A = this chain, B = another copy of it.
Amino acid sequence: MGKAINVGIVGTQFMGRAHSNAYLDVGYYFDLDAPPVMKAACDINKNDLDAFCKRYGWQTQETDWKKLIERDDIDLVDIVTPNFLHKPVAVEAARKGKHIICEKPMAMDAQEAREMRDAAREANVRNMLAFNYRRVPAVCLAKKLIEEGKLGTIYHFNAVYYQDWQIDPNVPYLWRHDKSKGGSGAHGDMNAHIVDLGRYLVGEISSVCCAQEVFVKERKKPDGTMGQVTADDAAYFMARFREGALGVFLASRMACGRKNFLRFEIFGSQGAINFNLERLNELEYYSLKDDPAVQGFRNLIVTEAVHPYIDMWWPPGHILGWEHTFIHEVGDLIKAIEKGTDVQADFHDGMRCQQVIDAAIKSHDGGKWVDVPEE
């Protein structure tokens, strides 16, 4: 058995919980040389940190992320902090030769993302951007079908990401409503996911044209005054893919009734695929090769042993949940570290995604199409 990978996590909120679950469970399902060790957790808030470590079993604590990175007993740094800290932590971790997994969105802008990517490349460490939806078995199956040519030439990639947690106008004004502090709203949280899926499944995006909107223009601050909302509630954009497909990316936090509704529809010359994250165990697949009298969208329950990742789980029809994607992600990362192989999505993917978002924002500001940089 190989040496266990020691993990140091920076950040203890929502994603910290999801990643903790993955580290805990990954050894049950993946054949690893050794399960990862939850060695150290870091947060500037000591109370949060105590509660987090106690509940999730992180063995030691740091309140300064730089100290965590300097520790010799840490092999892998997991970055689940607020967005603005991603770059400094990642660049420093790379310099110390740590492997890195970083939550999305990758950075405040593409320039930061590039620095992170370059630092990781230079240090030759494993680097993963946590686009966990790449590891939904149904999405992996979609990827496989596309690679096998089952869809032929792709004509359309139409994706939406609908949530409604900002729908209540009484949601109070927070730093996140200020574009200068929280960065892009729907873009970073939501479009980042579907842009990555678009790149993963259909390829590079060459140009975009975007429209953003704030629907609730001001919200009440804790002090009773009204704050101007500048971060977008919704961000829509059209896109042209390098290989010729035409697509849209629609993200909104004001889509009443939708909770975590991420849908993509891919149409090709030979077939089509639909996916919906709220039914993530299913994939709809249409093939022009079927007998014309019985052509129809097949509802695949992606829980068969022949499907990606499923051989390690349960019998057919026993569905997986959202957080299983993190187990897949961490499992693949640990194996990559063990074997010294690459793993995706990596920091290059994260940077490319950020470039698309940046181009979209620029497009919105200019009211016209903007090219995504070649690299």
Q: 1/0 contact trace for A279-304 toward B, CB 8 Å? A: 11100011110101111111111011
A320 contacts partner chain B, Cβ-Cβ < 8 Å: yes
Q: List 8 A-B contacts (CB under 8 A).
A: A164-B267, A167-B269, A236-B246, A255-B267, A256-B268, A258-B317, A314-B322, A314-B323
Q: Is the CB of A298 within 8 A of B301?
A: no
A100 contacts partner chain B, Cβ-Cβ < 8 Å: no
Q: Is the CB of B246 within 8 A of A248?
A: no
A33 contacts partner chain B, Cβ-Cβ < 8 Å: no
A64 contacts partner chain B, Cβ-Cβ < 8 Å: no
Question: Nearest Cβ in chain B — how far from A34, in angstroms?
Answer: 11
Q: In the complex, what residue of chain B is closest to A55 when comparing beta carbons?
A: B28
Q: Is the CB of A319 within 8 A of B163?
A: no
A334 contacts partner chain B, Cβ-Cβ < 8 Å: no
Question: Nearest Cβ in chain B — how far from A59, in angstroms?
Answer: 15
Which residue from B238, B240, B270, B287 sits with its C-beta under 8 Å from A209?
B238
Q: In the complex, what residue of chain B is closest to A290 when comparing beta carbons?
A: B298
Question: Nearest Cβ in chain B — how far from A242, in angstroms?
Answer: 14
Q: Which residues of B contact A165 (CB under 8 A)?
A: 315-316
A 255-271 contacts with B by CB, 8 A: 255-261, 265, 267-271
Question: Nearest Cβ in chain B — how far from A192, in angstroms?
Answer: 17
A278 contacts partner chain B, Cβ-Cβ < 8 Å: yes
Q: Which residues of B contact A244 (CB under 8 A)?
A: 213, 215
Q: Is the CB of B301 within 8 A of A299?
A: no
Given contacts A211-B246, A252-B156, A288-B167, contact A322 B322 (CB under 8 A): no
A158 contacts partner chain B, Cβ-Cβ < 8 Å: yes
CA distance A265 to B267 in the complex (A): 20
Query: Which DSSP category, helix, strand, loop or mixed, fits chain A's interface?
Result: mixed
Q: Is the CB of A155 within 8 A of B252?
A: yes
Q: Is the CB of A292 within 8 A of B306?
A: yes
A250 contacts partner chain B, Cβ-Cβ < 8 Å: yes
Question: Nearest Cβ in chain B — how far from A367, in angstroms?
Answer: 5
Q: In the complex, what residue of chain B is closest to A164 when comparing beta carbons?
A: B267
Q: Is the CB of A250 within 8 A of B158?
A: yes
Q: Is the CB of A296 within 8 A of B293?
A: no
Q: Is the CB of B318 within 8 A of A322?
A: yes
Q: Which residues of B contact A261 (CB under 8 A)?
A: 317
| Chain A positions near chain B (C-beta within 8 angstroms) | 14, 17-18, 20-21, 24-25, 27-28, 55-56, 141, 144-145, 151, 153, 155-156, 158, 160, 162-165, 167, 169, 209, 211, 213, 215, 233-234, 236-238, 240, 244, 246, 248, 250, 252, 254-261, 265, 267-272, 277-281, 285-288, 290, 292-301, 303-304, 306-307, 314-324, 367-369
Q: Is the CB of B25 within 8 A of A21?
A: yes
Q: In the complex, what residue of chain B is closest to A366 when comparing beta carbons?
A: B368
Q: Is the CB of B259 within 8 A of A236?
A: no
Q: Is the CB of B321 within 8 A of A319?
A: yes
Q: In the complex, what residue of chain B is closest to A293 when comparing beta carbons?
A: B306
Q: Is the CB of B323 within 8 A of A322?
A: no
Q: Is the CB of B236 within 8 A of A256?
A: no
Which residue from B155, B280, B281, B369 sits with its C-beta under 8 Å from A254?
B155
Q: Which residues of B contact A270 (CB under 8 A)?
A: 256
Given contacts A18-B314, A256-B272, contact A298 B300 (CB under 8 A): no
